[in-house]
Structure 1
Amino acid sequence: MIDLHPESKSPLYEQLYAALADEIRQGLRAPGTALPGRRTMAAQQGVSVNTVDAAYQMLAAEGLAEARPRSGFYVQKTYGMLHSRPVSPAAPPPDSPLPGEAAPRYDLSTGSVDTALFPARSWGRIQKELLYQRPELLQRGETQGDAPLRTQIAHYLSAYRGVVCTPEQIVVGAGIEYLLGCLAHLFAGGCAAVENPGYSRTRAVLQNNGIPCTLVDIDRDGLSADELEASGANLCYLTPSHHFPTGVTMPAPRRAQLLTWAAARPGRYILEDDYDSEFRFDTRPLPSLQGMAGPEGPVVYLTTFSKSLAPGIRIACMVLPQGLLARYRQDFAVYANTVSRFEQQTLCEFMAGGYFTRHLARMRLVYKRRMEAFAAALRAALPGVILGSVHSGLHFLLTLPGAGGEAAMVEAAAREGVRLRGLSEYYLARPELCRPDTVVAGYSALKEEDIPAVAAALARAWRP
């Protein structure tokens, strides 16, 4: 009997999956043995069959279990148990708990999503049908990703983001980091300008792959074309639709200036990360830079399904300009695609059946309601608070003059059980440019019923 906690923030299927995964990794369930039937497990745990099925499908997707037609799920051999050795601790990413930091009651980090919104029933049903009906998906697929999925992505990007491309220009990969590694190979010998503040991970990935990076400060319209020209870089990594963490949306005139910069010399390219473009609550976002430049233009478009579906579903894609496509195919022809074909085809069917657009519409409504409730609660509990980046993305910039400064705000919030990060942590250089008394508060994983308690906790933490 596995202990499940209905009152937990984690869905029951995730709790069941995590418990079974631990048992398998620890060798408590021997390779080759059958997991209890779904109805049997559901009866034992007092949960629905769908809950058990979702947990089993997650085990299968991770390679911890194997689904056998008309037989059930069987434990797979886990090679990670064969060789155990101590590992030096790595530095925590920005949204991870710091050493010695207790698990918070309320997590306002920006890297999480509300897993309760994941369309587990429809996703699981599609994946189950594919497992039984499409054995050819066990074979190796196309290097750039399966053609039907690339066709669906092209249709979606054209309709919703103004991207102008053919399915042949799309490359599917397991996360933005992997795709940036591919691009670093194509741009070997170049230098990239990255936004400050911004993602330290982006700079690390590029530099780890041999692309030196220079930092360019953003202003109220995003990255400046004049500053970019002065940097000497021939590559530019941008988040024009929704800059992280400031939330700046780059206006059309600035976009045109950057395209002019890219077109001025051969070998210049813009890497456009369309971060959080799905979540805009007042108006539709501006069309992509790639759409403004066209399929032959000097823009590589990148996007991921991590926020729209889940971070654990490692599916991202890039759209290569025609001029880079032949080079990519020449250099990466022998590479296998890094995304499971079952995951690819599940997403393909999910998009083709209209589930994806309906899912996004539902998420926008839920997150908009949550944003409005959280903003109202914060304004009521914290007189004088200033909220920025409210109507797009899934986080606020929260400024409270007189609260003692950013570091004191973060520490005081932690004592009240609220985890968030200071804005200066995202400045890769010149933190003195950071707006004072400002923290980054994400609400994507915040339950609506917890909003009053979070606002009250922050009021206690930051009370003069």
Structure 2
Amino acid sequence: MIELHNEDKMPLYEQLYATLADEIRSGTRAPGTPLPGRRTMAAQLGISVNTVDAAYQMLAAEGLAEARPRSGFYVQKTYGMLHSPAARPKTAPPSLVPVSERPRFDLSTGSVDTALFPARSWGRIQKEQLYQRPELLQRGEMQGDESLRVQIARYLSAYRGVDCTPEQIVVGAGIEYLLGCVAHLFAGGRAAVENPGYSRTRVVLQNSGIDCTLVDIDQGGLSVAGLEASGANLCYLTPSHHFPTGVTMPAPRRAQILAWAAARSGRYILEDDYDSEFRFDTRPLPSLQGMAGPDGPVVYLTTFSKSLAPGIRIACMVLPRDLLARYRQDFAVYANTVSRFEQQTLCAFMADGYFTRHLARMRLVYKRRMEAFAAALRQALPGVTLGGVHSGLHFLLTLPGAGGEGAMVAAAAREGVRLRGLSEYYLARPEQCPPDTVVAGYSALREEDIPAVADALARAWIP
């Protein structure tokens, strides 16, 4: 029986098309064999006949299948002859789950509560920009509109201790894009990357010609001894809120990291200020960039994905002046990747005070949600330990005796709860991962669902 790839952002017909296309290309479905009837396939998967038909039509358009009048769809014979499994490497099939097993509750870390988005004020400002400023239809500055960079510089100075001028700021469509631009300036270099950490970071750097070496973190963040031994000239880290452990790098460790960068010419720190705006106990430590100064060896990166929404692709970086000159030389012909209407909407949103009020409201909402979720878990799961609860929008959940991380993730999925094991973020040496630990995000969790989630996890993990 066919099962659809569980990809929420992909329409059902595309999921079905992707699954069948992979089977045809790999030879699992032999040339000339019929595809299941549309009604049969729809009944099996619990989807509409129109959805199945759309997927089949895509297969036919790609030359993977052919429609035979009054007979149905068949795997294309000529495709099979030209693209036999011997001539085409067989790819691993995607992780497939039945549609009926989609999670009721998503505790992943990449989502936000869209109900908190300031749609009314954002929409009003954007509408004003659209109708009153036709000049925004023209191409803007390569680094982003100056007026927005002025607002960002003021905000970063006031709330993150970043020491820079608007000229040092580059606006771009997401951290990945900006990180790729920075990596271009160091092509052929080597970067020390946190372990555990983001696999996406390593991929972006490697795709840009940077060799990556993984350095373990401890209770103070990235190991300085490991950094010294890595032979790296770049160091990527998340000192304000390490992902996924939630560790905040203390001031003495920060000074040691800065000393490493200052000890040799050509060394730089890539500071990803991940989730720094969400700290619920004390004010976060100032940025490494602020400690190093405007010409120090630190590239500061941050995004508005969590504070506004992931779909609003606005991020920024602050370059020291020596790198800024090289960036302007290499990227002089590039257009900015963020719509000027989005830029100017954010600019007005910040200039008129909406942004700081919005962040204050979000902190209160998320703090209340975190406290309610933590209390519900502690009540439902005797012996549970929660780590990193006072910063960021997720925490580590450890429950000895629940069968181990893999069993915990699988049992939670059977109860309709999606979450990930901590070991998934270990890019090397997974044996060092603390046992019985999963990563639970709560940013997209509705408060009225908290008791049901805690009960579902209790059913999953307590015999």
Please show how residues 277-292 of structure 1 align to structure 2 within 5 Å. 277-292=276-291
State the identity %: 86
Deviation at 1:86, TM superposition (A): 8.5
Please show how residues 98-247 of structure 1 align to structure 2 within 5 Å. 98-100=95-97, 102-247=101-246
Change (3 A) 1:434 1:305: same
Distance in 1 (CA, whole Å) between partners of 2:366 and 2:183 is: 35
Task: Report the 3-state secondary structure (helix = DSSP H, G, I; strand = E; otherwise coil) of the residue aligned with 2:156.
Answer: helix
Please show how residues 408-447 of structure 1 align to structure 2 within 5 Å. 408-447=407-446
- Hey, what does 2:354 align to over in structure 1? 355
Distance in 1 (CA, whole Å) between partners of 2:92 and 2:401 is: 32
- Hey, what does 1:55 align to over in structure 2? none
Deviation at 1:248, TM superposition (A): 0.2
Change (3 A) 1:86 1:180: farther
- Hey, what does 2:363 align to over in structure 1? 364
Deviation at 1:98, TM superposition (A): 4.1
Please show how residues 8-407 of structure 1 align to structure 2 within 5 Å. 85=62, 98-100=95-97, 102-407=101-406
Task: Report the 3-state secondary structure (helix = DSSP H, G, I; strand = E; otherwise coil) of the residue aligned with 2:194.
Answer: strand
Distance in 1 (CA, whole Å) between partners of 2:230 and 2:336 is: 35
Deviation at 1:103, TM superposition (A): 1.5
Task: Report the 3-state secondary structure (helix = DSSP H, G, I; strand = E; otherwise coil) of the residue aligned with 1:217.
Answer: strand
Deviation at 1:148, TM superposition (A): 0.3
Change (3 A) 1:214 1:108: same
Change (3 A) 1:317 1:86: farther
Distance in 2 (CA, whole Å) between partners of 1:138 and 1:89 is: 46
Deviation at 1:388, TM superposition (A): 0.3
- Structure 1: stretches of 5+ with no match in the other structure: 1-9, 19-80
Task: Report the 3-state secondary structure (helix = DSSP H, G, I; strand = E; otherwise coil) of the residue aligned with 1:342.
Answer: helix
TM-score, normalization by structure 2: 0.80
Task: Report the 3-state secondary structure (helix = DSSP H, G, I; strand = E; otherwise coil) of the residue aligned with 1:244.
Answer: coil
Letter in 1 for 2:275: D
TM-score, normalization by structure 1: 0.80
Letter in 1 for 2:383: G
Letter in 2 for 1:444: S
Deviation at 1:189, TM superposition (A): 1.8
Distance in 1 (CA, whole Å) between partners of 2:207 and 2:62 is: 25
Deviation at 1:225, TM superposition (A): 1.4
Distance in 2 (CA, whole Å) between partners of 1:106 and 1:225 is: 39
Distance in 2 (CA, whole Å) between partners of 1:369 and 1:335 is: 44
Distance in 2 (CA, whole Å) between partners of 1:256 and 1:224 is: 13
Deviation at 1:359, TM superposition (A): 0.3
Distance in 1 (CA, whole Å) between partners of 2:421 and 2:369 is: 22
Task: Report the 3-state secondary structure (helix = DSSP H, G, I; strand = E; otherwise coil) of the residue aligned with 1:313.
Answer: coil
Listed one character per residue, the Cα deviations across residues 9-28 of structure 1 (whole Å, up to 9, x for unaligned) are x9xxx9xxx9xxxxxxxxxx
How many residues were matched structurally? 383
Change (3 A) 1:368 1:228: same
Task: Report the 3-state secondary structure (helix = DSSP H, G, I; strand = E; otherwise coil) of the residue aligned with 1:201.
Answer: helix
Distance in 2 (CA, whole Å) between partners of 1:398 and 1:224 is: 24
Deviation at 1:89, TM superposition (A): 12
Listed one character per residue, the Cα deviations across residues 105-156 of structure 1 (whole Å, up to 9, x for unaligned) are 0000000000000000000000001000000000000000000000000000
Change (3 A) 1:85 1:257: farther
Task: Report the 3-state secondary structure (helix = DSSP H, G, I; strand = E; otherwise coil) of the residue aligned with 1:142.
Answer: coil
Deviation at 1:100, TM superposition (A): 1.3
Largest Rg, 1 or 2? 2
Distance in 2 (CA, whole Å) between partners of 1:333 and 1:139 is: 17
Distance in 2 (CA, whole Å) between partners of 1:230 and 1:336 is: 39
Further displaced range: 184-193 or 98-107: 98-107
Deviation at 1:188, TM superposition (A): 1.4
Distance in 2 (CA, whole Å) between partners of 1:186 and 1:144 is: 16
Letter in 2 for 1:382: L
Listed one character per residue, the Cα deviations across residues 20-57 of structure 1 (whole Å, up to 9, x for unaligned) are xxxxxxxxxxxxxxxxxxxxxxxxxxxxxxxxxxxxxx
Distance in 2 (CA, whole Å) between partners of 1:85 and 1:225 is: 53
Listed one character per residue, the Cα deviations across residues 60-99 of structure 1 (whole Å, up to 9, x for unaligned) are xxxxxxxxxxxxxxxxxxxxx9x9648999999xxxx942
Distance in 2 (CA, whole Å) between partners of 1:200 and 1:343 is: 29
Letter in 2 for 1:236: C
- Hey, what does 1:50 align to over in structure 2? none
Distance in 1 (CA, whole Å) between partners of 2:92 and 2:358 is: 35
Distance in 2 (CA, whole Å) between partners of 1:86 and 1:122 is: 48
Letter in 1 for 2:266: G
Distance in 1 (CA, whole Å) between partners of 2:242 and 2:397 is: 16
Deviation at 1:335, TM superposition (A): 0.2
Task: Report the 3-state secondary structure (helix = DSSP H, G, I; strand = E; otherwise coil) of the residue aligned with 1:398.
Answer: strand
Distance in 2 (CA, whole Å) between partners of 1:84 and 1:441 is: 42
Distance in 1 (CA, whole Å) between partners of 2:153 and 2:326 is: 21
Deviation at 1:269, TM superposition (A): 0.2
Change (3 A) 1:128 1:240: same
- Hey, what does 1:450 align to over in structure 2? 449
Distance in 2 (CA, whole Å) between partners of 1:269 and 1:359 is: 33
Listed one character per residue, the Cα deviations across residues 404-444 of structure 1 (whole Å, up to 9, x for unaligned) are 00000000000000000000000001000000000000000
Distance in 2 (CA, whole Å) between partners of 1:103 and 1:357 is: 36
Listed one character per residue, the Cα deviations across residues 350-370 of structure 1 (whole Å, up to 9, x for unaligned) are 000100000000000000000
Distance in 2 (CA, whole Å) between partners of 1:271 and 1:331 is: 19
Change (3 A) 1:89 1:221: farther
